[in-house]
Amino acid sequence: MLHITERHQMEQEKQKLVEVAQNSPDFIGIASPDGKVLFVK
């Protein structure tokens, strides 16, 4: 089980990456190994 501080820190890092992806002027696409589109911007 993760310590609550570690989990909070991981959530903050995840949020930073989401913000970078959403604010990037470049094309960003993420797909699962079986080809299912997970994210496109």
Q: What is the pLDDT of residues 1-41, one digit of tens each?
A: 668 888 899 999 999 988 998 899 999 998 999 999 998 98
Q: What DSSP state is assigned to residue 18?
A: H
Domain boundaries, the chain: 4-40
- The DSSP 8-state label assigned to residue 12 in this structure reads H
Residue pair 39/27 in contact (Cβ under 8 Å)? The answer is no
pLDDT of residue 1: 61
Query: What size, in residues, is the chain?
Result: 41
The pTM (predicted TM-score) of the whole model is 0.57
pLDDT at 2: 65
Closest CA to 41 of 32, 33, 25: 25
